[in-house]
Amino acid sequence: MSFIRLEKRPAPSATLSALTPVMAVIATMVAGGIMFAILGANPLEAIRTIFWDPLFDPQFGPYSRPQLLVKAGPLILIAIGLALGFRAGIWNIGAEGQYIMGAVVGAGAGLAFYPSESPLIFPFMVLAGAFGGWAWAMIPAILKTRFGTNEILVSLMLVYVAENILASVSSGLLRNPDGMGFPGSRNMARDYPAASNTEIIAGTGMHWGVVAAFIAVIFAYVLMTRHKMGFAIRLAGEAPRAARFAGVSPTRLIIFCLGTAGALAGLAGLFEVSGPAGQISIDFNSGYGFTAIIVAFLGRLHPVGILLAGLLMALTYIGGELAQLMLGMPAAAIQLFQGMLLFFLLAMDVFANYRIRIGKPEVVA
């Protein structure tokens, strides 16, 4: 018998659940510092460049602070949707594909009316973007409910399919006719005002995608705490058998969770392509769909937690760019840093779910 034992808590400790993300961030800073030292950078300077300078440095702050909302918006939007499914044990790993398809369908819907100046164009694009992501997520949802096909693998395969569709439309269907043959669509943010996702309050980075992210946080919070569907999601995740006896339909749950996640990821893609990115291009997608998985877990699959986690993860992106610029840090170091964060978080969950007992187990008579 081992000397250190884990004893399952009757219910996860709420205090520790809230504390583990903070502990994980600190542990990541320490481990990341060691990594930066190995890469030949001063670890304290690197940590300061990533976590402090983007917010408070007088030189970089004014540029970086608005970027925080720009980057956090799509991450929060996608992670909110993913978390609904994760809580119910439905693993949508293909948000990146849904994000791409939202951008493609949404941008396509807008570009079809170029150069119209109708104020209806942008709302129409928003609907089309949400639809694109939703429809793409319906593929794994329907295959799972109809045939029992694993949604992890199907949603992931569809990311590669979506990437190829993106490559195809950016050099074909949606290519800018005035672009002298170069791949990529018209720049909506620059050349097509009716289709552009503008900054709502100048200099803050607040665009419609950020507004949508805040609405999604509130929507998810109300859903999870006040609505029957939220109850069904929680029950299905914590006690699948009990959920079936309580009359929760797995089919409806799968369609709802994947569909919502897809629509939100699609919205994120549309807001990105019509705003910060500006145009459809071959490498338009930037891995937000995957990073959002970390955001969802870091936020404890809780809407408010995801809001905070999204801001933190956005900070690592911006700080990472700054570290590339100032310290010559490779871009991949930040990805590694984000991966470590997820590892530490998952590892520390043990404290929330189990009690650590030291000593020999007592013999139960």
Which CB, 127 or 157, lies closer to another protein? Answer: 157
State yes or no: residue 343 binds another protein (CB under 8 A): yes
- Which contacts of 86-90 are long-range, i.e. CB under 8 A and separated by 24 or more positions? 86/237, 86/296, 86/297, 86/301, 87/224, 87/233, 87/234, 87/237, 87/301, 88/232, 88/233, 88/234, 88/236, 88/237, 88/253, 88/257, 89/236, 89/237, 89/240, 90/151, 90/253, 90/254, 90/257, 90/258
Angle at CA of residue 237, ends 235 and 240, nearest 5°? 70
The one among 149, 187, 204, 324 contacting another protein by CB under 8 A: 149
The one among 16, 31, 55, 143 contacting another protein by CB under 8 A: 143
State yes or no: residue 353 binds another protein (CB under 8 A): yes
Which CB, 122 or 297, lies closer to another protein? Answer: 297
Q: What is the footprint of another protein within residues 170-189 (CB under 8 A)?
A: 172
Angle at CA of residue 149, ends 147 and 155, nearest 5°? 130
Q: Which stretch binds another protein (CB under 8 A): 42-50, 51-59, 150-158, 307-315?
A: 150-158
The one among 56, 240, 330, 357 contacting another protein by CB under 8 A: 330
Which CB, 264 or 334, lies closer to another protein? Answer: 334
Query: Distances in Å between the alpha carbon of 17 and those of 298, 299, 350?
Result: 10, 10, 10
The one among 88, 109, 158, 318 contacting another protein by CB under 8 A: 158
Which CB, 227 or 355, lies closer to another protein? Answer: 355
Q: What is the footprint of another protein within residues 264-323 (CB under 8 A)?
A: 290, 293-294, 297
Query: Distances in Å between the alpha carbon of 226 and those of 223, 231, 234, 315?
Result: 6, 8, 12, 32
Angle at CA of residue 20, ends 17 and 14, nearest 5°? 15
The one among 105, 154, 217, 232 contacting another protein by CB under 8 A: 154
Can you give the three-state secondary structure of 211-261, one letter per residue?
HHHHHHHHHHHHHHHHCHHHHHHHHHHHCHHHHHHCCCCHHHHHHHHHHHH
State yes or no: residue 91 binds another protein (CB under 8 A): yes
Distance CA 289, CA 26 (A): 25
State yes or no: residue 335 binds another protein (CB under 8 A): yes
Distance CA 188, CA 365 (A): 74
On whether the CB atoms of residues 123 and 295 are closer than 8 A, the answer is: no
State yes or no: residue 95 binds another protein (CB under 8 A): no
Roughly how many angstroms between the first and final C-alpha of the chain, as a whole number? 17
State yes or no: residue 194 binds another protein (CB under 8 A): no
State yes or no: residue 8 binds another protein (CB under 8 A): yes
Cis peptide, bond prior to residue 115, ω within 30 of zero: yes
If we measure between CA atoms, which residue out of 361, 185, 158 comes closest to residue 273? 185
Which CB, 165 or 308, lies closer to another protein? Answer: 165
Q: How many residues bind another protein (CB under 8 A)?
A: 50
Q: What is the footprint of another protein within residues 112-141 (CB under 8 A)?
A: 139
The one among 14, 59, 147, 203 contacting another protein by CB under 8 A: 147
Tell the smallest beta-carbon distance from residue 159 to another protein (Å): 8
State yes or no: residue 34 binds another protein (CB under 8 A): no
Beta-strand pair 4-8/354-358: antiparallel
Tell the smallest beta-carbon distance from residue 180 to another protein (Å): 21
Which CB, 55 or 348, lies closer to another protein? Answer: 348
The one among 116, 168, 198, 251 contacting another protein by CB under 8 A: 168
Distance CA 362, CA 365 (A): 9
Which residues are paired to 355 by β-bridges?
7
State yes or no: residue 333 binds another protein (CB under 8 A): yes
Which CB, 96 or 272, lies closer to another protein? Answer: 96
Q: Which residues bind another protein (CB under 8 A)?
A: 6-8, 86, 91, 93, 139, 143, 147-150, 152-154, 156-161, 164-165, 167-168, 172, 290, 293-294, 297, 330-340, 342-343, 346-350, 353-354
